[in-house]
A = this chain, B = another copy of it.
Amino acid sequence: MANEERHGSSNTSFPMRSGEDKYSYSRNSHYQKNGADMVKTMMLKEITEKLDLEQCFSSPRLFNVADLGCSIGPNTFFVVQNIIDAVELKHQALGLSKSDLEFQVFFSDQSSNDFNTLFRSLPPERRYFASGVPGTFYGRLFPKASLHFAHCSYAVHWLSKIPKQVLDRNSPAWNRGRIHYRTKEVKEAFAAQFAEDMKSFLEARAEEVVSGGLMALILCGQPSGTDPSKCAIRMLFELLGFSFMDMAKMGLTDEAKVDSFNLPLYFPAKEELEGIIQNNGCFDIEKAEVFHQSRLEAKNHDVQKFILMIRSAFEMLICENFGTQILEQLFQRFTERVTESGILWYSSYSPFIDLFVFLKRKVKK
């Protein structure tokens, strides 16, 4: 039962950079914050229209919210407050007394997450009971029918692990000299892993979310049918892979290490994600939207900020595999390559897209 820690071993645990220094996730998660800003209105509308308080409430009036893959803030506090505000509005619109309603928020992430920083930065003025839940969201984290709202933002595009065949020299899917999927075989292996992980995710949430309860997913996606070489997000990680190979050529790491290193990320197309949710069959898709943040202007400052965001997400994973000594030169080279490529501002590249999916738990039999 409980949290099978599939992320427990060293190569299946991918925490964001901890603490609060200049390279920390807490200071470099503006992309994710922008995304949360952009879906705020959609979220409010969906909650207002789709939340059936009578259906999903039991007495006493306690509303349980989980943020899955919350990392260390501050974004999680922002998102959770938006959800609570929307639920309170709905509650008031029904003429119910605000004082009857209590909120309990479960901030959840892998046990390697820096919960100390998270807890110490909880908003002092919060109007909810706060709790942290360690464990992977690809397994059960909560009791049956105990959540009214599950939120998961910029997290399910992280796979539970790297597909085996990608690391197998004898497989056609061996991902030699790259750190992310590019060839058809490698992409299929990543897509299969994503489908398997999402299946686990949805099965666990189907148990945990009450009948009529809600779930919002925000994740990085990929435009359907775009040539990978014209797709900014695919090119971004291709360039990071080239930067690793630069390090190998400079003798700062081995090519074999780059061969065996892969980023556990997959960016599905909207239709692909919808298909997986429909196959699971436990949730109605109330809304599925593609949105994208504005392109950067071609200014060095913005690129640096963008690179810091990427670094805060991958630094701990990279250090575990390559040590810390590679970091500065790797990200310097990566910055140069990204700047030269223009992928962050040229309109010939399809922009980074994000997916917003709003789900409602079907009534359980």
Q: Which residues of A contact B (CB under 8 A)?
A: 1-3, 5, 8, 58, 60, 62, 102, 104, 106, 111-112, 114-116, 119-120, 122, 124, 126-135, 140-146
Contacts and interface: CB of A to CB of B under 8 A. Distances in A.
Contact of A62 (B102, B104, B143): B143
| Chain A interface main SS type | loop
A343 B142 CA distance: 48
A2 B146 contact: no
A119 to B, nearest CB: 4
A146 B146 CA distance: 12
Contacts of A145: 60
Contacts of A128: 1-2
B104 A112 contact: no
A144 B2 CA distance: 24
A289 B42 CA distance: 58
B129 A131 contact: no
Given A112-B120, A122-B111, A132 B131 contact: yes
A104 B133 CA distance: 11
A5 B119 CA distance: 12
Contact of A111 (B102, B120, B127, B135): B120
B126 A119 contact: no
Contacts of A1: 102, 127-129
B119 A115 contact: yes
Given A102-B143, A102-B144, A132 B134 contact: yes
A144 B5 contact: no
19 contacts: A2-B128, A3-B129, A3-B130, A58-B58, A60-B143, A102-B143, A104-B142, A106-B131, A111-B119, A111-B122, A114-B116, A115-B115, A115-B119, A116-B116, A129-B133, A129-B141, A130-B133, A131-B132, A132-B132
A142 B104 CA distance: 8
Number of identical protomers:
2
B60 A129 contact: no
A166 to B, nearest CB: 27
A60 B1 CA distance: 17
Contacts of A135: 130
Given A119-B134, A122-B134, 10 more contacts: A1-B127, A1-B129, A2-B126, A8-B124, A60-B145, A104-B146, A111-B120, A115-B132, A130-B135, A132-B134
A144 B62 contact: yes
A83 to B, nearest CB: 16
Given A114-B116, A115-B115, A119-B115, A129 B58 contact: no
Closest 5 CB pairs of A and B: A119-B134, A132-B132, A102-B143, A111-B119, A115-B115
A7 to B, nearest CB: 12
Nearest to A128: B2
Contact of A131 (B122, B124, B131): B131
A26 to B, nearest CB: 15
Contacts of A133: 129-132
